[in-house]
Amino acid sequence: MALQKVLLENLTLPQHANSYIDALHAILTHQGWITCSKSMLAGMTATAFRFTVDCRLTAESTSAYNWIAENFLAADFIGVTASSAAGFHFEPTFPLYLKQALSDIRKSLDRGIGCAIWQDRFVVVAGYDEDQQVLYISDGQAEGYRTLPYAQFGKGDSPYWYYQFLEGHIVLDEIAVYQESLVQAIFKWETHELMLPEAEYACGEAAYDAMIEAFRTGNYDPLGVREVIPYYATAKKDIATYVAALERYWPELRDASEKYRDVAQQWEKAARLFTTIETVDNLAPINTIIDLFEAAKVLEEEAVLSLKRLMRETINNRFHDIGLR
């Protein structure tokens, strides 16, 4: 007798998508829990405002954060309950975690809800086949689905495994969600990620300084930076789109909106320019890129100051920790 097979139709990642927010947007949209764009979701969950790099600008910069805590909060900020687990596939207890992960993922799919997992990037699980012992995943690299054998879950080039499944959804006050996201934007600009050693990573405003120093010294990963710059260029564009949309509620955001738009333009120029650089010795484009990021830092700092003026009452009510909800 054939064992169970489940495939959630039309649950796919768009081409070239590789972030957690891409996966979350695909799942929430498929579920009918949201109708907004990915840019709006990235803003509402504050994930667009996360800006972290390691000192050599390696590709892992874009995913260097506390997945369990931050991805839980991303869902929680918009009224979605979620559960997750993570670890290293080389741990002796991994077979036990693998069994539990597959059980949780299948149960979620049986309820019609896809899952986000890490398989060298964030991807979406849209189905499973017990006969074939495979998951059906969409990774943004090819159309449709590809199969991932159960035994290969969490065993990619990176040593990490992770999965998140969504459980329920309530409708929150729209204005409150937007307000919280702006407070979180300020927090992420000013605060270093606690789990990352400050000698090796930089966050928020300090990330600009780390990038500029890496380009000045030539001490950066030439392959990694080709992932880091386009990734954050997309995030800055999402921020600009998001804050511009919030002007309808707070006309006072006009200044911040214009600044974020200009920030996004600086990043877009840098992303285009960097594709022309083949060696560190090519100093003319490098110097131009440094100028672009120096300008972007000033603009983003001014944008955050505008947010602080708008949200000053909420921030003051939280005393010295504006990250508190």
Considering the chain, what is the average pLDDT of its residues? 92
**What stretches of the chain show up as alpha helix (H) in DSSP?**
20-31, 38-44, 67-77, 94-110, 174-190, 205-217, 225-246, 254-274, 283-310, 312-317
Using CA atoms, how far apart are residues 37 and 40, in angstroms rounded to an integer? 5
CA-nearest of 45, 220, 67, 52 to 158 is 67
pLDDT band at 279 (very low <50, low <70, confident <90, very high): low
Structure tokens at 174: 């729209």
147-204 pLDDT, tens digit per residue, is 999 999 999 899 999 999 999 999 999 999 999 999 999 999 999 999 999 999 999 9
Q: What percent of the chain has pLDDT over 90?
A: 84
Using CA atoms, how far apart are residues 4 and 181, in angstroms rounded to an integer? 41
Terminal C-alpha separation, the chain: 52
SS3 state of residue 101: helix
Which of 134-148, 209-223, 238-252, 306-320 has the lowest average pLDDT?
306-320
The β-bridge partners of 115 are: 125, 165
The pLDDT of residue 2:
52
DSSP 180: H
The pLDDT of residue 51:
98
Structure tokens at 45: 């969950």
This prediction has a pTM of 0.93
The neighbour count for residue 131, using CB atoms within 10 Å, is 11
Using CA atoms, how far apart are residues 211 and 194, in angstroms rounded to an integer? 20
CA-nearest of 288, 289, 241 to 264 is 241
Q: How do beta strands 52-54 and 134-138 pair?
A: unpaired
CA-nearest of 107, 105, 114, 102 to 8 is 114
Query: Are 152 and 13 contacting, i.e. CB atoms less than 8 angstroms apart?
Result: no
221-270 pLDDT, tens digit per residue, is 988 998 999 999 999 999 999 999 999 999 999 999 999 999 999 999 99
